[in-house]
Amino acid sequence: MPAQTGASATRYVLRNAVVLSMDPEVGNFPIADVLIEGTKIAAIGPDLDVGDAQVIDATGKILMPGFVDTHHHQFETALRSTLPEALLFPTNDTAGKLNYMDFIIQKMSPLYRPEDAYSSIYLSGLSQLDAGVTTVVDTSQINHSPDHSESSIAALKDVRRRAVKAYSEGYGPETKHPAGIRDLVKRHFSSADQLLTIAMGTEYVSPTFAESMTLVRELDLPIVSHLIGNLMKGDEYVDYLAQEKLLGSKVEFIHATNLRDETWKKIADSGAGVSIAAPIEMTMRHGSPPVQTALDNNVQPSLSTDVETTMTADMFTQMRSVYVLQRNEANQKALAGATENPTLLTPADVIRFATVEGARVAQLADKIGSVSVGKDADIILLDARALNTAPLNNVPGAVVTLMERSNVDTVIVAGAIRKWAGELVDVDVTKAIRDVEASRDFLLSAADVKLNQFE
């Protein structure tokens, strides 16, 4: 591994890779090199003359942009898979023994100490780095006190990957949300040239929503909000933002389920971003993932993982879910005799959702999302000669239909190698797991919840 990767004076080249750039102006290459100087991509092409740059042999590897997860509640990692069968809200029927809002938000979340927030966010970040997710929008609903916010930010920094802290509500008398964002911006987010950025996380149904909007205007902040039509007044929220001239490209709508046609037109016309978490939406009764609806309205969605209490947080799962969902719906229409059917998604389409569109929705399109000269070197190398992929016959198809996290060989963030030859670099994984297990034990004990690992 090259020494001091990511340092300003470091130059290294990834040789003989299969380059899937996701940049139409760059194109794709069966065999090519990518030169990295400091944090940036300096050159792309076959047989580059790189002088004395250090050489990394990437033969048999697919080189592509790192994945971007545009919505992930990372603080919940200690409670992974506690709700595999749960629905989002309480229901009047018998489906689901537990619901997410009651168990996680009302019961468990208020019990989190600052150290619990840290251990969950840190382990979640390492896990996603291991899976090739180089950027996350952390939907941070754990700002119960200034200490909770500080611990959350410390964890994001210590993972050393790109992150947007969507500063969302906290619970209890010590929460400073939303006004606390002023101090956080001043102390942690004063520069755009860093791995961490910030957005206002807020919900239209929140009692502090009006104050959040005042701060959005004052500090010129992006907005990150859940948008569920019939459950969270989604149509009314979009109407409000449009009337207040806040609806635009700096807004990210999560889920965007069960919305009126006219609401979708407003989203499309404004350039606002949409984040679809298809496995969660289908499992937890958010409503059908609006993949085809977004496409019909000329909205290119991003993808997100949402909550690990119910589903895994890798982007291979997200891409495959969206791919087969849209194709199934379109195919069913064709089988029913329809003569005008939606265009079937391709593997390249869903990879674009997971990279290019993710970067746009996260307000980072000028820095990441494609392998392009001048952009930050957020790059992953995927092993295409592994047992589950060899021989390599179709590059986008292999990524979407065959691969999973074990294929992620190397992960680079802003020029710094964070995973090398299948192993995370400079990380004590055993300690990180031990810390989150201790946090899990504390939280369950404090909530008087008995863990039954088979139910």
Res 154 pLDDT > 90: yes
Q: Are 349 and 429 in contact (CB under 8 A)?
A: no
- Share above pLDDT 90 across residues of the chain, in percent, rounded to a whole number: 92
**Across 55-80, average pLDDT:** 98
- Neighbouring CB atoms inside 10 A of 85's CB total 12
Please state, in angstroms and rounded to a whole number, the distance separating the CA atoms of residues 200 and 178: 8
Q: What is the DSSP string of 355-411?
A: THHHHHHTT-TTTSSS--TTSB--EEEEETTSTTT-S---HHHHHHHT--GGGEEEE
pLDDT of residue 390: 98
Please state, in angstroms and rounded to a whole number, the distance separating the CA atoms of residues 239 and 204: 11
**Across 67-89, average pLDDT:** 96
pLDDT of residue 3: 66
Give the CATH fold of the 67-361 domain.
TIM Barrel (3.20.20)
CATH homologous superfamily of domain 11-65+369-421? Urease, subunit C, domain 1 (2.30.40.10)
Which helix (H) or strand (E) segment is 444 a member of? helix 429-446
pLDDT of residue 95: 64
pLDDT of residue 302: 98
Read off the pLDDT of residues 305-354 as tens digits, 9 standing for 90 and up. Answer: 999 999 999 999 999 999 999 999 999 999 999 989 999 999 999 999 99
Please state, in angstroms and rounded to a whole number, the distance separating the CA atoms of residues 237 and 235: 5
Res 4 pLDDT > 70: no
pLDDT band for position 149 (50/70/90)? very high
pLDDT of residue 96: 59
pLDDT of residue 397: 98
How do the residues of the chain divide into helix, strand and coil, expressed in percent and rounded to 5? 35, 20, 40
- What integer best gives the mean pLDDT of the chain? 96
Please report which residue ranges of 160-249 form alpha helices under DSSP H.
Answer: 181-188, 209-219, 234-243
In this predicted model, which residue has the larger pLDDT, 137 or 452? 137
Read off the pLDDT of residues 269-279 as tens digits, 9 standing for 90 and up. Answer: 999 999 999 99
State whether the Cα torsion 78-83-87-93 is positive or negative: negative
**Across 404-426, average pLDDT:** 97
* Lowest-confidence region among 35-44, 72-81, 335-344: 335-344
pLDDT of residue 453: 87
pLDDT of residue 452: 85
Res 38 pLDDT > 80: yes
pLDDT of residue 124: 98
What letter does residue 96 receive in the DSSP assignment? -
Residue 109: closest CA among 450, 453, 446, 455: 446
pLDDT band for position 91 (50/70/90)? confident
Please state, in angstroms and rounded to a whole number, the distance separating the CA atoms of residues 282 and 404: 21
**Across 22-31, average pLDDT:** 98
In this predicted model, which residue has the larger pLDDT, 230 or 64? 64
pLDDT band for position 190 (50/70/90)? confident
Please state, in angstroms and rounded to a whole number, the distance separating the CA atoms of residues 48 and 32: 8
Domain ranges in the chain with CATH number 3.20.20.140: 67-361
Q: Are 369 and 355 in contact (CB under 8 A)?
A: yes
Domain ranges in the chain with CATH number 2.30.40.10: 11-65+369-421
Backbone torsions φ then ψ of 269, nearest 5 degrees: -65, -30
